[in-house]
Chain A
Amino acid sequence: MEPAVKQAFNQGNLRANAAYQASRRNVTIDPITRLEGHGKIDIYLDSKGDVERAYMQVPELRGFEVFSLGRPAEDMPQITSRICGVCPTAHHMASTKALDDLYKVEPTSAGRKIRELVYNTFVLEDHALHVFVLGGPDFIVGPDAPPAERNIVGVIGKVGLEAGKKVIGTRKRLRELIAYFGGKVVHPVLGLPGGVSKPLNPADLPKFQQLAQDGVEFALWTNDVFKQIVLGNPGYVKLITSDAFTHKTCYMGMVDEQNKVNFYDGKLRVVDCNGKEVCKFTAQQYREFVAEHVEPWSYMKFTFLKQRGWKDFVEGPDTPIYAVGPLARLNAADGMATPKAQVAYEEFYKTLGSKPVHHTLATHWARVIEMIYAAERIEQLINDPEITSPEVRRVPTNGPQEGMGVVEAPRGTLFHHYQTDDRGVMTMANMIVATGNNAARIAMSVERAAKGLIQGVKDAAQVPEGLLNKVEMAFRAYDPCLGCATHSLPGSTPLRVKVYDRDRQLLRELVQG
């Protein structure tokens, strides 16, 4: 269409729309019609009316490489932090570490500690948000509570108003620490190859030391709330440990030299479904250990353990499929590096009976344990005499070529990989995000939920209404990125499920969001 015609058409549309609004006062958006940005799930039945396969697709971010090419590599920590409004600090840090590697420069000791301090603060804040606001309502308010109550308002109703103020207040103070160093939370300007841009002024130390102390108390309180409300309820425990939410896969997570969980730096360790170490590697070796599989039904790339080869969506000791995220990190490590988190870690495995824990919904508890670690680590770092050192950066002297950086984002392992020309201009950019690392296991969870609910279905009426909620719970535990956009509308999980009969005829469509 000619641009002029197009413009006239659109303006006409806008006027018609405005006229309609004027006559009706407003246009109500039926959330059920928000189709384009949906997670799409297609379920195919066999001749008996049982599930043969279930396929899930999510809208994905496009054009990262094209957008990056030709830009100075130094811009990447800022650009990548703007990709996602949910985990800007994770992208910023993975990107900064990729720049260290690109210029082969080791950050100064103080610079490294400031990065780790900021990073743990981010993880603590993001995890707290998830526990109380996003994933937590399912458990704190209850999985069977009406959707209208399964939200932050319902959570405050359950934990109390004062506790609600504590959550909101702590979150705000944690963000102030991130902003102190980064200037902004959504677009931090902190990491530079070889260190950070700003030291910590000793005069500002006391307020952050107080924050660290309060952070530990806050995390321990959260663990108590979780244990009391969730673990104190046999119904919830039964749900968490049910077969519908259990998968025996491998687990990947970053560990320090003692094989303890670390979010900022270390090696990536993978254990199999029996907890046996499969491999351990650095960011620079990731391509030797991680490969991507493509399925004809999805644009999504499914990562798997390269040395095991792709074997379809299978579980068990030989599966190449691995999970990332809080549960995977706990499973892949031998313990936590801080004392109070270690106590919680031991209680976690004792309560759930074995290690690794394969129950996807146990991720919520694992997240709380990681909050304790993050808070304790903040306290260690803020009380480290070196944290106020002015030597926060080592200026790179080597020419750039290729760099990889990895961090544990709140939702799981995040890889950044860049190549540049000798001026440091980007010639290649690749990124593997947590949702990509989890994609195969998410697909398995969705199929499992569908199989549990659809059996012997002959007609549309036999497709159960509860299908959508159950499927949603199956993938919500992974907190997947359904396109990294910042839409606040319509504010609910966009999901569409289509069920096809044996002749590939559409039997029923369920939509929400």
Chain B
Amino acid sequence: MREAVMAQPETVSSRPPCHAETAPPRVLVLGLGNAILSDDAVGLHVVRALRGRLKPDEDIAAVEVEEMGLSLLDYIVGCRDLVIVDSIQTGRVPPGCLHEIDGDDSLTRRGGSPHFLGVGDTIACGRLLGLAMPERIRIFAVEVDDPFTLGESLTPPVAAVLDDVTDRVLQAARSLATA
């Protein structure tokens, strides 16, 4: 397994882009979030759990990222397929529900954010600059309860679905890896 085992969240600065040392993985699973903002960290938890379930011969890398926007480019470049796990708060469904978005959907949904670049913008920017961008993108977002309180644990409804969400994301990553 290349680069798939990493105990701590890493950044581009301390870690070269995924293609720098070895060939890029077929599938990169990026877990996004802030580790000390309660449910905001759910993407990080999922990726950590998922990494433990990967078999050594699987061409899947699982990476936790506490950055966003343009910084994501440094991770994404060179990987064939991309799976993103993030948190979201729509208020429309109970916390713990899993949303799934097609990469193409997110690409069409551009718009200025006060601080960050959306995933769609980031990918579009990478393509425009001629960087090797993933061919296929799947985005999973867990509906969260509290992403605003400083804390290192998930709220119960989100913690309760961690296993199931990890299964679902792993299944998606595997189907991309073998396709």
Q: Which residues of A contact B (CB under 8 A)?
A: 3, 6-7, 9-11, 13-14, 17-18, 21, 26-31, 33-37, 59-64, 66-67, 79, 82-83, 85-86, 129, 133-134, 137-138, 147-148, 150-153, 156, 161, 164-165, 168, 171-172, 175-176, 178-179, 182-187, 476, 479-493, 512-513
Contacts and interface: CB of A to CB of B under 8 A. Distances in A.
Interface stretch (B21-29, B46-54, B55-63, B89-97): B89-97
B99 interface: yes
Interface string B99-126: 1111001100111111111111100110
Contacts of B94: 9-10, 13
Contacts of A21: 98, 100
A147 B111 contact: yes
A175 B12 contact: yes
B112 A134 contact: yes
A121 B147 CA distance: 30
Nearest to A472: B112
Given A26-B105, A85-B68, A151-B117, 19 more contacts: A29-B105, A33-B90, A34-B90, A36-B89, A64-B150, A83-B37, A85-B67, A129-B70, A151-B124, A165-B129, A179-B13, A483-B148, A484-B37, A486-B32, A486-B33, A487-B33, A487-B88, A488-B72, A492-B110
B88 A153 contact: no
A497 to B, nearest CB: 16
Nearest to A21: B100
Contact of B100 (A3, A26, A491): A26
A485 B119 contact: no
B106 A487 contact: no
A184 B34 contact: no
A94 to B, nearest CB: 17
User: Lowest 10 A-B CB distances belong to which pairs?
Assistant: A491-B118, A179-B13, A492-B111, A67-B150, A35-B91, A10-B96, A36-B89, A63-B150, A36-B91, A62-B149
Contact of B112 (A3, A18, A137): A137
B161 A10 contact: yes
Nearest to A34: B90
Contacts of A175: 12-13
Nearest to B44: A486
B87 to A, nearest CB: 6
B114 A476 contact: yes
A153 B128 contact: yes
A156 B125 contact: yes
Contacts of A27: 99-101
Interface in B1-55: 10-14, 32-37, 40
A475 to B, nearest CB: 8
Best-buried of A35, A183, A487 by chain B (most CB within 10 Å): A487
Contacts of B10: 184
10 contacts: A10-B96, A13-B94, A14-B161, A14-B165, A17-B99, A30-B90, A60-B148, A133-B69, A484-B37, A485-B37
Contacts of A11: 160-161, 164
Contacts of A492: 109-113, 118
B74 to A, nearest CB: 7
Interface of B: 10-14, 32-37, 40, 66-74, 84, 86-102, 105-106, 109-121, 124-125, 128-129, 139, 141, 147-151, 156-157, 160-161, 164-165, 168
B114 A13 contact: no
Contacts, number: 257
A152 B35 contact: no
A83 B92 CA distance: 27
Contacts of B92: 33, 35
A484 B90 CA distance: 17
Contact of B151 (A36, A67, A86): A67
A314 B151 CA distance: 38
B70 A29 contact: no
Given A17-B93, A18-B98, A18-B168, A83 B36 contact: yes
A245 B82 CA distance: 42
Contacts of A37: 89, 147-148
A488 B40 contact: no
B150 A171 contact: no
Contact of A491 (B99, B116, B125, B128): B116
A3 B89 contact: no
A184 B13 contact: yes
A155 to B, nearest CB: 9
Nearest to B125: A152
B66 A85 contact: yes
A512 B12 CA distance: 32
A401 B109 CA distance: 50
Given A147-B110, A481-B115, A486-B66, A10 B160 contact: yes
Contacts of B66: 82, 85, 186-187, 486
A422 to B, nearest CB: 26
B112 A487 contact: no
Given A67-B150, A148-B110, A185 B13 contact: yes
B100 A488 contact: no
Given A31-B109, A486-B66, A85 B164 contact: no
A171 B70 contact: yes
B36 A67 contact: yes
A60 B149 CA distance: 9
